[in-house]
A = this chain, B = another copy of it.
Amino acid sequence: MSLPRTNPLLNDRDVDFQLYEVRDATWLCTLPTFAEHSRETFSLLLDSTRRLAREVFYPTYRPMDSEPPVLREGRVHVHPLMRKLYPQMVELGLAAATRPVEVGGQQLPLTVHSVASAYLMAANLSAYAYLGLSLGAAHLLEAFGSPWLRDTFMSRLYSGEWTGTMALTEPQAGSSLADVRTRASPAPDGSWRISGSKIFISGGDQDFTENVVHLTLARPEGAPPGTRGLSLFAVPARRPEGERWVDNDVRVAGLIHKIGWKGIPSLALNYGERGDCHGWLVGEPGRGLTQMFQMMNEARIMVGLNAVATASAAYHEALLYAQERPQGRPASVRDAAQPQCFIIEHPDVRRMLLRQKAIVEGGLGLLVEASWQADVAEHGHSEEQRARARWVLDLLTPVAKTFPAEKGFEANALAVQIHGGYGYSSEYLPEAWLRDQKLNTIHEGTSGIQGLDLLGRKVMAGGGEALKAFAQEVGSTVERARRAGVDPKWCEELGRALGEVVALTGELGAAGATGQVERMLMHSADYLELFSVLAVAWQWLAQAAAASEGLARGGEGRDFYDGKLLAAQYWFHTELPRVGPLVALCRSGEDSYVRMRPEFF
């Protein structure tokens, strides 16, 4: 048995499996927008991204974690390695990869971009984050910006000349964007003067490009309170003035000492302290939040990917460690004169590894699925196909964001646990990934908000259309699994679980429809947990089907397929049985925390 000695970050075989066996990513090339692509072009990108991730990015992770950005005389200085890393991502074409050729992109499916990006995230989450944020900002400008904004800002973001941020959060308005106070006043030249404070702005300043463009939510003078009074503005750190670029009065007011993602600063920014902060309206006035939310699926898929990648890096590290660390003996060996075994021989260590595998590869399945649906939703052959994909995508997004973040944190903790006392030290990497992971349950909408989004909006959308489309997807997977000879019990159990969730959703929807909104949403967190168990079981059934088909084809690689079937078994025997109690809980009207008053604690 020959084992890899360095962390692969993600399992290449699994990525290929998810792209070409669980589903057929080359089908995407039948969509006109992706017609120039093929498995070969996908592989070219994947191979070069993997290489960059493993050879260049991964070795920079610990140094960047150890030496976080500093704020000196009003400017943020990030780790000098970023000067080398950022251009290399841009050079691979990752910034605009999924965008149209007209804006310098490659019209690559998001499905392929997602798995490629996951390698870079696993290698160095913060370094990739600068790119991810810039891409989000550029995409907003592409979708809603005037030609001048696209020329001036978007093109420089896609080309990697500058970076971008999303500036939503304010000290008094974290999850509650209705309370954004940053103001915008019209100026005679058609631009706006911006004033206010933002906080937690990731990448809000850095010293490896000349400029940073902040896509900023602000409230124009006279606009109403609440979210419908918000507009979106492009606010650069340096603005054009004739031939020159001058300081645009965006001041770094403070640097937050984050516990992870230490390679990228999180900042408090003050706009317009001198009254000289210029912003340019992006899209329509009063549509700021709506526009932002049109990008929200992609942003949340990216967080889900961050989470899968972070859990994956730790899982592979734990796997390597367990194969190399001698400790103790199998239960059947009582003779201490015998040599110690590797800890992977202990069933409980294998349990912890298999649980991590089930979370990581089940989570990756969810993210590939969501990316696939995003591709079809935007570029599908027919409006019917696109509409259906949009329903499924909308529904899956809160699950694909939250499951990897919440269970990924558990997986990351298991990687620490497998390393024992060493795992508790910063001489080893798992503790760093554990710190990184915790942010994913908080940013881009907390897990609590995802639960409300799923139950309050997504599963109820279109009078049940979304849930119906999702159920059809699950149904086809069950059919495929039956044909492939997967254990019929798993097929039945998934079908039954789906039926229970659909019935429960109907009941909760009926409660909501009769005005009992609080009753409907009472167990939104449990409902999200429930839906995640179900959705991941669906992904594991799809993987089990593909693995069974692979085994039936015979030939090489039986070990990989056997591992897939055992991980699926783990999920079906250990996690899927939680559906019953969770459905009962959501249905029960259990009201302890609703009745709990502040003075009772």
Contact = CB atoms under 8 A, between A and B. Distances in A.
Interface string A25-43: 0000000000000000000
Contacts of A443: 421
A421 B200 contact: yes
A344 to B, nearest CB: 5
B518 A331 contact: yes
A590 B346 CA distance: 16
A351 interface: yes
A28 to B, nearest CB: 29
Contact of A448 (B225, B349, B413): B349
B260 A346 contact: no
A548 interface: no
A596 B355 CA distance: 11
B448 A348 contact: yes
Interface stretch (A118-126, A143-151, A332-340, A480-488): A332-340
- The prevalent SS among residues of A at the interface is helix
Contacts of A574: 585, 590, 592
B573 A585 contact: yes
A438 B420 contact: no
B593 A354 contact: yes
A566 interface: yes
Given A326-B172, A592-B566, A337 B517 contact: no
Could you say how many copies of this chain the assembly holds? 2
Interface string A474-492: 0000000000000000000
Interface string A427-443: 10001001000110111
Contacts of A357: 601
A74 to B, nearest CB: 20
A: contact size bracket: 35 or more
Interface string A49-89: 00000000000000000000000000000000000000000
Interface in A404-445: 409, 413, 416-417, 420-421, 423-427, 431, 434, 438-439, 441-443
Interface stretch (A95-103, A243-251, A382-390, A556-564): A556-564
Interface in A327-375: 327-329, 331-332, 335-337, 340, 342, 344, 346-354, 357
Contacts of A421: 169, 174, 199-200, 256, 266, 442-443
Given A258-B426, A570-B590, 20 more contacts: A1-B599, A174-B421, A179-B328, A179-B336, A225-B336, A226-B337, A257-B426, A323-B598, A331-B518, A342-B598, A348-B525, A352-B448, A354-B596, A417-B442, A421-B442, A424-B438, A562-B600, A566-B596, A577-B581, A581-B581
Interface of A: 1, 3, 169, 172-176, 178-179, 199-200, 225-227, 256-260, 266, 319, 323, 326-329, 331-332, 335-337, 340, 342, 344, 346-354, 357, 409, 413, 416-417, 420-421, 423-427, 431, 434, 438-439, 441-443, 446-448, 451-452, 517-518, 521-522, 524-525, 559-560, 562-563, 566-567, 569-570, 573-574, 577-578, 580-581, 584-585, 588, 590, 592-601
